[in-house]
Amino acid sequence: MSQDNLIEIRDLHFAYGTRAVLGGIDLDIPKGKVTAILGGSGCGKTTLLRLIGGQTRPAAGHVKLAGQVVHELGNHDLYKLRRKIGRMFQESGLFTDLSVYENIAFPMREHTDLPEDMIHDLGLMKLHSVGLRGAQGLMPGELSGGMARRVALARAIALDPMLAIYDEPFSGLDPISLNVIANLIRRLNDALHTTSIVVTYDVSESLKIADYVYFIDAGKVVAGGPVAEVLASRDAFVDQFVHALPDGPVAFDYPARPLAADLEIAPQPVIDEART
C-alpha cells in the first residue's frame, strides 16, 4: 500500500441479490486530502461507503484502510478502526431526544475516558468551529436544515478522526447553507489534518473544495484523478455530468420495450365510407 494513500480499493464487487451494484471499482483516497465521489442516484456511492466502513462485505476485491483489509477484520479490530472514522449521514442522523451539545458529547462519552469537564470544553470548541456554540441548548427539532447539517458535521469530527466521510452533505440545503457547509468541510479537513471523502451528486460545490475526484457510473469508475486533470479530459460521461447535459452516455429513460407494445395499441378500425 502506498504511503500517500489512506484507502486503496481494488477490483471491488458488490450486489444486492441478483442486482449488481459495484462491478470492479479501483480507486485511491490520498491522505490529508478532500476526495469527491460523484455520480447519479443509484450508481453505488453510498454502498461504497458501507464497504469502506465494514458494514457490508464485498463479493470480490477489497477495501484497504490504513493498511488493513476491512472485510478481514474481526469485530474487535473493526470497531477499533471505526472509532477513527467520523461520518456525517445523509439526513444528519442527530439524536432527536438529545440537545445539540449532548449530540456532540455522545461519541466522546462512548469512545473515550475523558473527564466530563474536558468533554464539555471540547464539545463547545467543536460547536464553535461550525458557528453554533450559541445553539448548544437547542433540540434538533428547533434547528433549521442548515443548522442540523452543521451540528452533524461537528459530531462527525468530534474525535478528530483519521477519516471523515460526508454522505450527500449538500442535499436539500439553500445556497447560503450549502456554501457554508462546503467551506467548513474544506477548512476542518485542513485544520485537523484529516482525510475527507465527500459523496454527492452536487458537482459545482464539491469540485470547489476537492483535491481529487472520481466519477462513478453503473458500478464502475469512469474517470478519476486530480480535479483539474479530470475536468480537462474529454471523457463523454464527465462532460455530460459536469454540464448537466440531457444527451450523453447516461440515459434518462430506464431500458424498456417500445411504448406501443406496453400499451398494446390495437389497429384503428377501417371506416366504411359507403355507410357514412
The 10s digit of each residue's pLDDT in 180-203 is 888 889 998 998 899 999 998 778
Residue whose entry in the numeric block shows the C-alpha cell 417500445: 258
Average pLDDT over residues 173-182: 84
Residue whose entry in the numeric block shows the C-alpha cell 448548544: 136
Average pLDDT over residues 57-68: 93
pLDDT level of residue 101 (50, 70, 90 thresholds)? very high
Q: Looking at residue 114, what is its pLDDT?
A: 93
CATH number of the structural domain spanning residue 27:
3.40.50.300
Q: Looking at residue 238, what is its pLDDT?
A: 75
Q: Are 198 and 36 in contact (CB under 8 A)?
A: yes
Please give the mean pLDDT across all residues of the chain: 86
Helix (H) or strand (E) holding 109: helix 100-111
Domain assignment of residue 192, yes or no: yes
Q: How many domains does the chain have?
A: 1
Is the model's pLDDT at 127 over the cut of 90? yes
Average pLDDT over residues 10-38: 91
Comparing C-alpha atoms, which of 114, 107, 50 is closest to residue 83? Answer: 107
Domain assignment of residue 248, yes or no: yes
The 10s digit of each residue's pLDDT in 231-270 is 887 777 777 777 666 666 666 666 778 877 778 765 566 6
Measured CA to CA, the distance from residue 12 to residue 49 in angstroms comes to 12
Domain assignment of residue 62, yes or no: yes
Question: Comparing 17-21, 61-65, 97-101, 261-265, which segment has the lowest mean pLDDT?
Answer: 261-265
Domain assignment of residue 140, yes or no: no
Is the model's pLDDT at 272 over the cut of 70? no
Q: Looking at residue 6, what is its pLDDT?
A: 95
Domain assignment of residue 240, yes or no: yes
In percent, the amount of the chain with pLDDT more than 90 equals 45
Domain assignment of residue 19, yes or no: yes
Q: Looking at residue 256, what is its pLDDT?
A: 78
Q: Looking at residue 31, what is its pLDDT?
A: 94
Domain that holds residue 39: 5-84+161-275
The 10s digit of each residue's pLDDT in 144-163 is 888 898 899 999 999 999 99
Domain assignment of residue 99, yes or no: no
Domain assignment of residue 271, yes or no: yes
Helix (H) or strand (E) holding 238: helix 236-243
